[in-house]
C-alpha cells in the first residue's frame, strides 16, 4: 500500500549547488533591506491566511506567541492556523497574481519576486509577528520559489497574454490546493508505520507529525514520548494536543533523549527544510536525536511536505543560512522555586499569586554579566542523511538518496 522511492542513476541532470559556498541564498535588494513596511498587500494577505483575521494588523503582533489564548486550544499550540507558513505565502502570492496589472510575463515574475522578498524580509526581521522565532524561513523561501516555477511554466503555450494570465491563475490555484492537502497525504502514508503497542518518540511540535500520529490513533493504540526544549515550550504544547486526543503521552527534557531512547520503538520528527543531499534542517536537537537513534538501532523517520524541499547543500552546521534573530533566553533555577511555582506574590500582602512582571520578580533568575558570557540560541540544526531511515512526504515514502532526483523533477 505504499512505495519507497530510491535514488536513480544521475544521468543527465540540471546543475545544482554542490558546495557549501553555493548553498547560501543570493542577496536581493529587498531581502537585504533592514525592514519592510508591514502594511503592503502581500503581508496583509499573509497574516490573513495564517490567522483568519478579516482585517489583519501585522504591526499589532510583535510579541512572541502565547499558548494562553483560547485560539491556541482550538487551532494549534502555537496560536496559528492549521495553514503552514509556506502554504499561506503561496496563497498570498496567488493574490499578487490576481491584483497584478502587468502586461508581460517578465513584469509578473518581477512582482512575484518582490512579494516573495518582502515576505522573506519580514519573516527575518520580525519573526515574532508571524510566530516564527526565526525557524521557518527555509520552507518559506522554497515554497515561494516552487510556486513561481510552477505557475510560470505555461507562458510559452498561450497565444496571448490574457490567456496566459488565466492559465497562471488556474495553475496557482491548483498548486495552492495541492500544497494545502500535502499534510493529509503524508498522514495517510506515515500512519501505517505506527504499530499497535509501539512507543513513538518525537521532538517538539510539528503539524505534519501531529497529523500522522492523530491519524494513526484512530485505528491503533500506542504511546508518545515528546522531547521538550527551550525556549518555546513546543514539546509541552504538543503533549497537550496528543493527550487531548487520548494518546498516552509523556514529556521529558530533550537532554534526556538518550535516557528514553531505549523505551522507544521509532522516532518521528518534522523538518523546516529538506536539503538536496537528503539531510534535513529542523528544530535544535534533531541532529543529536538522529545520532542517538542510530547508535541505539532505532528507525529515524522525517515527515515533510515537498514544498520544503530546498536547493541547499550544507556540509556542516555553519553552512546553514541565517534564519533571523534568535529568541532571547532567561536562565532560571526552577529547582529553587517555592510553592509559588516561580511566580511572585502580589504586593500589599495579598496572598494571591500573580505573574511576575519582570525577571527581577522571578525567584531563581541567574543573571550573566554582559560581555563576560556570550549566549547562543540557534533555532535549528542540520541532520545529515546518514542518520535518516526514511522520509514521509506527499510524493511518497522516500529514501534520503531520492531527494536530489525529486528536487530536479520539482524545479525542472
Residue 38, pLDDT score: 64
Q: Is 60 exceeded by the pLDDT of residue 241?
A: yes
- pLDDT tens track for 264-282: 999 999 999 999 999 999 9
Of 14-28, 87-101, 368-382, 386-400, where does the model show the most confidence? 386-400
Q: Is 50 exceeded by the pLDDT of residue 216?
A: yes
- pLDDT tens track for 40-87: 899 989 888 887 654 433 333 333 333 333 333 333 444 445 678 888
Of 2-11, 63-72, 167-176, 315-324, where does the model show the most confidence? 167-176
Of 17-26, 106-115, 130-139, 218-227, where does the model show the most confidence? 218-227
Q: Is 70 exceeded by the pLDDT of residue 367?
A: yes
Residue 388 gets the label, from left (phi > 0), alpha (psi -120 to 50) or beta, of beta
Report the distance separating Cα 324 and Cα 140, nearest Å. Answer: 13
Q: Is 80 exceeded by the pLDDT of residue 363?
A: no
Cell 502587468 belongs to residue: 102
The band of 361, judged by pLDDT with boundaries at 50, 70 and 90, is low
Judge whether 113 and 148 are in contact, CB under 8 Å.
yes
Residue 83, pLDDT score: 76
pTM of the model: 0.78
Residue 59, pLDDT score: 38
In eight-state DSSP terms, residue 173 is H
Judge whether 252 and 228 are in contact, CB under 8 Å.
yes
DSSP string, 259-312: HHHTT-SEEEE--SEE-TTS-EEEETTHHHHHHHHHHTT--EEEE--GGGB---
Q: Which of 204, 202, 402 is nearest to 306 (CA)?
A: 402
Residue 78, pLDDT score: 46
State the average pLDDT over residues 369-395: 91
Q: Which of 307, 264, 330, 405 is nearest to 64 (CA)?
A: 330
CA 61 to chain centre: 19
The band of 132, judged by pLDDT with boundaries at 50, 70 and 90, is low
The band of 151, judged by pLDDT with boundaries at 50, 70 and 90, is confident
Q: Which of 30-34, 50-54, 242-246, 387-391 has the lowest average pLDDT? A: 30-34
- pLDDT tens track for 281-292: 999 999 999 999
Of 25-39, 172-186, 293-307, 331-345, where does the model show the most confidence? 293-307
Residue 135, pLDDT score: 63
CA 403 to chain centre: 18
Residue 199, pLDDT score: 98
Mean confidence (pLDDT) of the chain: 78
Amino acid at each position: 500500500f505504499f512505495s519507497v522511492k530510491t535514488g536513480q542513476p544521475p544521468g543527465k541532470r540540471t546543475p545544482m549547488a554542490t558546495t557549501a559556498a553555493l548553498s547560501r541564498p543570493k542577496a536581493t535588494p529587498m531581502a537585504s533591506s533592514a525592514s519592510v513596511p508591514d502594511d503592503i498587500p502581500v503581508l496583509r494577505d499573509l497574516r490573513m491566511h495564517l490567522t483568519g483575521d478579516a482585517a489583519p494588523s501585522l504591526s499589532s503582533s510583535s510579541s512572541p506567541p502565547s499558548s494562553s489564548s483560547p485560539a491556541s486550544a482550538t487551532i494549534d499550540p502555537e496560536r496559528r492556523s492549521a495553514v503552514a507558513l509556506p502554504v499561506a505565502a503561496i496563497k498570498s502570492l496567488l493574490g499578487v497574481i490576481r491584483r497584478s496589472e502587468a502586461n508581460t510575463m517578465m513584469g509578473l515574475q518581477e512582482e512575484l519576486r518582490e512579494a516573495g522578498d518582502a515576505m522573506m524580509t519580514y519573516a527575518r526581521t520580525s519573526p515574532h509577528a508571524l510566530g516564527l522565532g526565526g525557524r521557518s524561513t527555509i520552507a518559506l523561501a522554497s515554497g515561494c520559489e516552487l510556486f513561481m516555477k510552477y505557475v510560470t511554466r505555461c507562458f510559452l503555450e498561450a497565444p496571448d497574454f490574457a490567456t496566459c494570465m488565466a492559465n497562471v491563475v488556474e495553475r496557482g490555484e491548483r498548486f495552492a490546493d495541492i500544497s494545502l492537502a500535502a499534510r493529509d497525504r503524508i498522514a495517510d502514508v506515515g500512519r501505517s508505520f505506527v504499530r499497535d503497542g509501539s512507543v513513538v518518540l518525537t521532538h517538539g511540535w510539528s503539524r505534519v507529525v501531529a497529523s500522522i500520529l492523530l491519524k494513526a490513533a484512530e485505528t491503533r493504540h500506542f504511546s508518545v514520548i515528546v522531547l521538550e526544549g527551550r525556549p518555546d515550550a513546543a514539546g509541552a504544547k504538543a503533549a497537550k494536543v496528543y493527550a487531548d486526543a487520548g494518546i498516552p503521552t509523556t514529556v521529558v527534557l530533550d537532554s534526556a533523549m538518550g535516557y528514553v531512547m531505549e523505551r522507544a520503538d521509532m522516532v518521528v520528527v518534522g523538518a523546516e527544510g529538506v536539503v538536496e543531499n537528503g539531510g534535513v534542517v529542523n528544530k535544535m536537537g534533531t541532529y543529536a536525536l538522529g545520532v542517538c537513534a542510530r547508535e541505539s538501532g532505532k528507525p529515524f523517520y522525517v515527515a515533510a511536505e515537498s514544498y520544503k524541499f530546498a536547493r541547499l547543500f550544507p556540509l556542516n552546521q555553519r553552512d546553514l543560512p541565517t534564519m533571523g534573530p534568535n529568541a532571547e533566553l532567561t536562565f532560571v533555577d526552577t529547582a529553587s522555586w517555592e510553592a509559588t511555582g516561580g511566580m511572585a506574590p502580589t504586593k500589599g500582602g495579598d496572598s494571591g499569586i500573580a505573574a511576575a512582571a519582570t525577571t527581577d520578580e522571578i525567584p531563581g533568575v541567574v543573571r550573566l554579566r554582559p560581555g563576560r558570557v556570550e549566549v547562543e540560541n540557534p533555532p535549528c540544526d542540520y541532520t545529515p542523511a546518514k542518520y535518516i531511515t526514511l522520509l514521509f512526504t506527499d510524493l511518497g515514502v522516500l529514501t534520503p538518496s531520492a531527494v536530489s532526483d525529486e528536487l530536479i523533477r520539482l524545479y525542472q
